[in-house]
Structure 1
Amino acid sequence: LFKPNFGAALHILKVEIGGDVQSTDGTEASHMHHIWDENYERGYEWWLMKEAKKRNPDIKLYGLPWGFPGWVGQGTQSPR
């Protein structure tokens, strides 16, 4: 998918930034369930980004938040 000049040769990858809201099937887990709990090995998005970068170091990566952990924004799912 990501190798330049081969197959789809994708040059942009958008991935979900998990927020623990579980709003759809297959949502990505948050990398920080709590303010003190930082773990970038949860879920599959980090693995996918690393694999895409291996195949195409120039690929552009974008993160899309669907929700936020409860500790962000005074306990709401959408901080303002």
Structure 2
Amino acid sequence: MAKILLVEDDPRIASFVTRGLKAEGHMLDIAGNGQTAMAMMRKADYPLVILDRMLPDFDGVTVCRQMRSENITARVLMLTARDA
């Protein structure tokens, strides 16, 4: 099974999501910011990226745009606590 990349800067949320996905048999790598996530995606082929909308360095939309500009074709699931 391929690994999922979780991009989340809040340790509590990352832990919660990780526990749930691992309980379902998924393997995960975790990045705490956009720069680290991009470096990881350049080195590994992730079929799915769970991407926080609000990151400390770039927002999730910027990371997603960068992914696409570099032809990183992973599916993206945007994770957000925003209400708007």
**TM-score of the pair, normalised by structure 1:** 0.38
**TM-score of the pair, normalised by structure 2:** 0.36
Rg bigger for which structure? 1
Structure showing the higher strand proportion among its residues: 2
Structure showing the higher helix proportion among its residues: 2
